[in-house]
Structure 1
Amino acid sequence: MSTGANLQETYFISPIGKGCKFQLLDDSTSVTPDPGLQFKIVIVGDSGCGKTSLFTSFIRGYFPTEYEPTIFENSRTFLKNETTGEVLTADLWDTAGQEDYERLRRLSYQDSNLIILAYSLNARESLLNIPEVWAPEILSYCENTPILLVGLKADIPEHNVDPFDAVKVANSINAVAHIQCSAKEMFNVSRVFDTCFSVVYNNYKKQQKVSKRFSKPASGHFRTPSKPKVTTPVKAKYENPIHEEEPYVEHYEKSHCCVIC
């Protein structure tokens, strides 16, 4: 993980605005969610890359011992902003990565506020598929939705993903941040979700300010408008940056991606 630490120290750029800490409230806690602060976060990525384990480790506080392939599952959680005391409602949507469930998975994009785009640090193909498969799919169904790129299984020593390649992919898809984490070791799991909730929370507050400026009250739940399916090919917009010949450092210095390892 030393390479990741060097990346953070040298190239850290934060585009997400004010970072916040959020406390996950358990079922026994009596809560009154704040009106409007209801968000939908969807996780997508290759099958078996660790998506379900990430959600489970965050919600339950422990790593699942058995692998169960996901078809579709969503969980509602409540979180407290430790700075303001506001209570957020978060709907976390887990999806299947298999092609067989492509049609069902695409329905989950509607009204999403943020997409966690996941890959496995020990499966380079899962990173290659992000600009080839997943980013074009997201572009087709929720073009304006922020994307957080997350590298999973950081606890496995046999990494075959170069962190510089991951950053190049993050830049190419305009991700708000890139975070490496381990659900098994609970490494950076809280950071992943604090980043998610900070992004959607800050976007909501910006929308409120704009609404007040034009004397229009912010409407109900903050949602990113869903986009109709793009009929023209979109893959050309996401040429795989890992295969580019240009020097990596020059590419990165022009970037605006936050790197968190």
Structure 2
Amino acid sequence: MTPSPPLLELKQLSKRYGSFTALDGVTLSVDGGQVFGLLGPNGAGKTTLLRILATLLQPSAGTAAVAGLDVTRQPDAVRQCIGVVNGGMGLPARLTGREILHSFAGFYGLGRAQAEARIAELDAALDLGRTLNTRAGEYSTGMRQKVTIARAVIQDPAVLILDEAASGLDIFARRALLDWVAAARRPGRLTLYSTHVMSEVEEVCDRVAVLHGGRLLAEGTQPELLARTEAGTLEQAFFRLVEQDEAAQVGAAHAL
């Protein structure tokens, strides 16, 4: 059997703003059927990377492909096969959840019956409940996040991008989000989970890429990262990778 191509393929991907390098030659290949974590502090390059994948930014160098589609040369096709959730996304206050979902289903060419069937599936998975018939202006934070996620996956995207999606959620909404992410693994589908919160990565991610200063420091399963750094926890592994990177950067600067 021929192996399936990776759902995410990055080759020397970089983004520069004048003299500042936000993303520095990242090369990465990620298969479907998993939750893949992007772990790093604020400013690590995570959001820049995800905005390139979402076709919102143009890379300065290198290439990125999502589901075999080049993000620069085929942006419209890429947008059809991704869903995006971040902590700052809003919803139209006057529309109900059902109206919002029907509106987005129409963007992807789903007819009314298809949209209703998909909404029923998402209601069962996310427990949308009264969000469907309540105007978004009346939502709690948890209700808003549920509809935001449902909106992002209404077309059943091959790649779902979650960028600090748990940011600002209360404990119950955060729990519902993590449970849904863990249950959403399927062959041929990929969830990119970007966060700076170690416990979220430890709970839901199958493999992890560690980013710092725009550079990819390491990628692998959590046991692989622990073994590589001789660490007992993912947090320890992260700090050891950062320390090693900073020492390497200082050594390189002295060698010039």
Q: Fold-level match, TM-score > 0.5?
A: no
Which one has the bigger strand percentage?
Answer: 2
TM-score relative to the length of structure 2: 0.31
Q: Which has the larger radius of gyration?
A: 2
